[in-house]
Chain A
Amino acid sequence: MILIPCPHCGPRNSSEFRHAGEVKPRPDVGTVTPQEWRDYLYTRRNPAGWTTETWYHASGCRRFFTLTRHTVTNAIRSGEAGR
């Protein structure tokens, strides 16, 4: 089980967190096209490499934060609060 460096609580087991997926900015609802919206909902880069993703410390501080993780090695670069 990998360790997730929570910016508020320190390193914790990943089972304390919910993985909320790749960071994907929410499009402007007023101008978004159907294609862009579907893209936002369903398309992910899913790289074999570095990816920036959101985690939610569900069994801890209940804060959302982003970190950059290598999907092959599980190496983690940083944790920062907020998206």
Chain B
Amino acid sequence: MTGYRLPERPGEVIDRGTALTFTWNGRPCTGLAGDTIVSALMAGGVRVFSRSFKYHRPRGVLTASFHDPNCTVQVDDEPNVRGAHRLLAGGMSVCSQNTWPSLRFDVKAANRFAGRFLTAGFYYKTFIHPQPLWPAYERVLSRFASGGVASPHAGHGYYDKRYAHVDVLVAGGGPAGMAAALAAAEAGADVLLVEEEQHLGGHLRWGGAADLAALADLRPRVLAHPRIEVLPDSVVAGRYDDNWIAVLQRRGLPAAGPVERLLKVRAAVLVVAAGLIERPLVFEGNDLPGVMLGTAARRLINLYAVRVGSRAVVVSANPEGDAAAADLRAAGIDVAAVVDARAGRTVRRAVGGRGPEGGVRAVELGDGTRIEADLLVVSTGWTAPTSLLSMAGERAVWDAAAARFAPGDGLPDGVLAAGGIVGDGSTAELIDHGHRVGAEAAARSAGAAPSPVEPLRRPPHPALFRTSHGIVDFCEDVSSKDIVAAVAEGYDGAELAKRFTTATMGPTQGKLELVNTIAVLAEAAGRDFAELGTTTWRPPYAPVSLGALGGRGFEPTRVSPMHGWHQAHGMVPLVAGQWIRPDHYGDPEQEARGVRERVGIIDVTPLGKLELRGPDVPKLLDTVYINSWGSLAVGSVRYGVMCAEDGVVFDDGVTGRLGEERYLMTTTSSGAAAVWEWLENWLQTVHPEWRVHVVPVTTGYASINVAGPASRRLLERLVEGVDLSNEAFGYMRVRTGRVAGVDDCLMWRIGFTGELSFELHVPASYGLHVWEALFEHGADLGVAPFGVEAQRILRLEKGHLIVGQDTDGLTRAVSAGLGGLVRLAKPDFAGRPELARSRADEAPHLVALQPIEQDVVPPEASQIVTGGRRIAGRVTSSRMSPTLGRAVCLAQVEPGLSAPGTVVTIVLPDGGTAEATVMPQLAHVDPEGARLRV
């Protein structure tokens, strides 16, 4: 298994003393620490790693980097792992993807021979007609979809988030990026340096002696600098407004900690030092195993000491190709020919061998010469990955002489480009450019006016894109013929041809194939390269796992001081917004009966509570409530309804006057935040002259409702200094006093349940004490806890609406049966112009319904219909009433159905119907309110 490992290379990153065992498609294999999955497999003689997307052609290494389109593998439960990037770990089970039944004998390779039916846009045409067959087509097509297998049993994993605020973020840790980070840090800036590969260094790592010397100088200084944080194996995924930058960190995380971490970075200046990506050449057979880029060969030889072939042909248009040829020779590989593209020589065809894994067997040059070889190394051009610059609003420009895109001049002040992405140069020139850009970035982050940095020159480069027809997009299996066909069909623009052929839409997102796509398009359409421009680069720059985007939740939950008691007493929880509260303790109907017959207590802490202080509180109340508030006396409470400016009911509650200039407003549990903002809106933007101070005290008090005929007897045992008799403390009154030894408790006599009841607001830290005291002193009275469900039953029996359940986003006060509360005599209040004009006969009405069949409970949201089909309303609340022993409902109905005694038809879920009678009033139980006022 080590037959393809070379003797020691000066820049190698493998640890020859540490062997790791793993499996490849079930077969035991060995690699070395420091290997990537692919380098270990190649050192073991494996040459084919995947089958192509459409035609299922065998594929080997192309770029030997993260973005290698042919080296995506499954590792254990994890699909779509970048095999040429991921470090090997002992015990890995690695499998090929997109192959069936196996990599060697792939049934779908028959697609190769059906290729003429799989041309550009074939799925737009072939599978459209007849339309009813689409589900059948879809089942077949889904078996051909590429990608790995996501195990339904795999755990979610621990994904983390982090925020960072830095002066300078450098994307790319090659020579220019490292130099920029050092220069910025030396100027006093805090720097985050993000490198996509496993190690800093960029192309210096697989370079010659001079490059390794430069790396040995720069890298330790970067790593040691206290102002530079380095994130290797991480990627800048996107740049958004005001340099809000998403970084995916895949390594350097605490052991047993998160799998990946998403950084949300706000950087004063972003330096893009992404370098250059080597561009494939389009020719027949350019995707055969054994055809690879110069950088791929150099990485495999110099970093991992892999013998990539035995007899090579090198096509070179630049120094990278020349260096690759030199590296091959140094590795003892027979270089049969170096084809110098600068002299006009080129390659026309790679000839594949027979057999399921047939790689390169021979190379046919432009002049017809045929050379036997098992390796074809191609270095014919570069692509500047300008994605991050484009996300900053910049449009790359085509430099025809240099045959590459380069940054334009549309960058915002907070974004700079450094190094190879800008231009070419020696290592020293790249480092110098990075240094100048880094210094400028530090200056800008400190507030200095922008000063342009002299760009690097771009020497001429042969414009080589295509010599015959071959693969353009390796991810999507799009050939140059497909693009020519797209142009023939009229899709002759970059964006149109992209969508029709899917070229540039695969995982590499144009990094390898964009320029060739445009070149073939320009050639076929007879249009100018520069005029065609590029397709749009969008985030993310590189694929980001869904787990990292999902991250971990930071949604807070809130519980009352009595939460532990509820848990110890069989609470069935209800999640209500942020709150977790008891829905019931086992039998909500029994809880409701207990309230009607004896006494129950409920934890209503989530009730929104706002303390209002100041001389102008009455003005505020008159403005936000539709009813009248001017005359509220100290010691009294009043029910109020709030409408928005469009007259729609948005909250209700009671507000009490505790003192001359002190009030407590309660809101619905879910509306507390919105009401607070609404009050602040009026006070800050419409009436800043009013003297009112609003303090939210929702969690400052624990709130307990004591309800039932025995509630007064129970409280009399605990309350000191307040006369609880009906004469002294009547309905809709508020008192302050001592409860169970706790001072400053508020007591309101109100009754959402329809029973005699007292609502206690106790300083929160004493909430559990008072709650337990009520049980201690009320055992003989039959006191029992009740939850939200019992409260809903009780309030429905009483006909009290819930805003948002019995009303909706169109319900104005008159529709909710609240028209009588509207006080138009007030000159101004929220929603007044709408309410002044709304008429009772133009909107649905809230009514009480009783199904004629007493035990039929139509589910909430059941439709009410007339004439068999037409929807004329809906049931908004429904329950079986334990008090009446029959079903009771609230419903919104058309005005014509709202008269008492009208029989309406409700559609049930099983398709049947139920008849129900409209009641004379909303309350089903005790419409006179006698039980409240005892």
Contacts and interface: CB of A to CB of B under 8 A. Distances in A.
B244 A1 contact: yes
B645 A64 contact: no
B684 interface: yes
A77 interface: no
B677 A56 contact: yes
A82 B827 CA distance: 24
A20 B684 CA distance: 13
Contacts of B833: 29, 32, 34, 37
Contacts of A82: 684-685, 688
A10 interface: no
B827 A1 contact: no
Interface in B239-258: 240-242, 244
B242 A2 contact: yes
Contacts of B677: 18, 56, 58, 62
B827 A29 contact: yes
Contact of A37 (B240, B244, B828, B834): B834
B241 A2 contact: yes
Interface in A40-83: 40-41, 54, 56, 58, 62-64, 74, 82-83
Nearest to A66: B685
Interface in B823-849: 827-828, 832-834, 837
Contact of A1 (B242, B828, B837): B242
B545 to A, nearest CB: 21
Interface in A13-35: 13, 18, 20, 26, 29-30, 32, 34
Contacts of B578: none
A30 B684 contact: no
Contacts of A3: 241-242, 266
B241 A74 contact: yes
A55 to B, nearest CB: 11
A1 B680 contact: no
A13 to B, nearest CB: 8
A13 B245 CA distance: 12
B241 A1 contact: yes
Nearest to B393: A73
Interface residues of B, number: 20
B240 A1 contact: yes
Nearest to A41: B646
A56 B827 CA distance: 28
Interface in B165-194: none
B681 interface: yes
A25 B664 CA distance: 30
A74 B828 CA distance: 36
Among the interface residues B242, B685, B828, B832, which one has the most CB atoms of the partner chain A within 10 A? B685
A3 B240 CA distance: 11
A29 to B, nearest CB: 5
Contacts of B834: 37
A19 B584 CA distance: 39
Interface in B788-841: 827-828, 832-834, 837
A52 to B, nearest CB: 13
A29 B681 CA distance: 17
A37 B646 CA distance: 9
A10 to B, nearest CB: 12
B686 interface: yes
Contacts of A1: 240-242, 244
Contact of B685 (A37, A58, A62, A83): A83
Contacts of A58: 677
A74 B688 CA distance: 29
A54 B681 CA distance: 10
Given A1-B242, A2-B241, A64-B680, A30 B837 contact: no
A64 B646 contact: no
B832 A64 contact: no
Nearest to B832: A29
B554 to A, nearest CB: 12
B676 to A, nearest CB: 8
Interface string B7-24: 000000000000000000
B684 A63 contact: yes
A48 to B, nearest CB: 16
Contact of A34 (B240, B645, B827, B837): B837
Contacts of B645: 40-41
B702 to A, nearest CB: 24
A3 B243 CA distance: 9
B186 to A, nearest CB: 27
Interface in B631-645: 645
Nearest to A29: B828
A72 to B, nearest CB: 11
B683 to A, nearest CB: 9
B681 A64 contact: yes
B464 to A, nearest CB: 39
A40 B832 CA distance: 13
Contacts of B266: 3, 13
B4 to A, nearest CB: 49
Given A18-B677, A56-B677, A30 B827 contact: yes
Given A29-B833, A32-B833, A34-B833, A54 B685 contact: yes
Nearest to A81: B684
Contacts of B646: 41
Contacts of A62: 677, 680
A41 B646 CA distance: 7
Nearest to B681: A64
A37 B677 CA distance: 22
Nearest to A82: B688
A40 B833 CA distance: 11
A82 B680 CA distance: 11
Contacts of B684: 63-64, 82-83
Contacts of A34: 833, 837
A63 B837 CA distance: 33
Nearest to A36: B833
A83 B687 CA distance: 10
B276 to A, nearest CB: 30
A30 B828 contact: yes
Contacts of B828: 29-30
Interface in B668-712: 677, 680-681, 684-686, 688
Nearest to A34: B837
Contacts of A54: 685
B540 to A, nearest CB: 16
Nearest to B241: A2
B165 to A, nearest CB: 11
B267 to A, nearest CB: 12
Nearest to A4: B242
Nearest to B412: A73
Contacts of B242: 1-3, 74
A3 B264 CA distance: 14
A23 to B, nearest CB: 9
A64 B646 CA distance: 21
A19 B828 CA distance: 25
Nearest to A58: B677
Contacts of A37: 833-834
B831 to A, nearest CB: 10
Contacts of A26: 686
Contacts of A30: 827-828
A74 B414 CA distance: 15
A11 to B, nearest CB: 8
18 contacts: A1-B244, A2-B242, A2-B244, A3-B241, A3-B242, A13-B244, A26-B686, A30-B827, A30-B828, A34-B837, A40-B645, A56-B681, A62-B677, A62-B680, A63-B684, A64-B685, A74-B242, A82-B685
Given A30-B827, A56-B677, 15 more contacts: A2-B244, A3-B241, A3-B266, A20-B681, A26-B686, A29-B827, A32-B833, A37-B834, A54-B685, A56-B681, A58-B677, A64-B685, A74-B241, A83-B684, A83-B686
Interface of B: 240-242, 244, 266, 645-646, 677, 680-681, 684-686, 688, 827-828, 832-834, 837
Pick the 5 closest A-B CB pairs, nearest first.
Answer: A83-B685, A2-B241, A1-B244, A37-B833, A29-B828
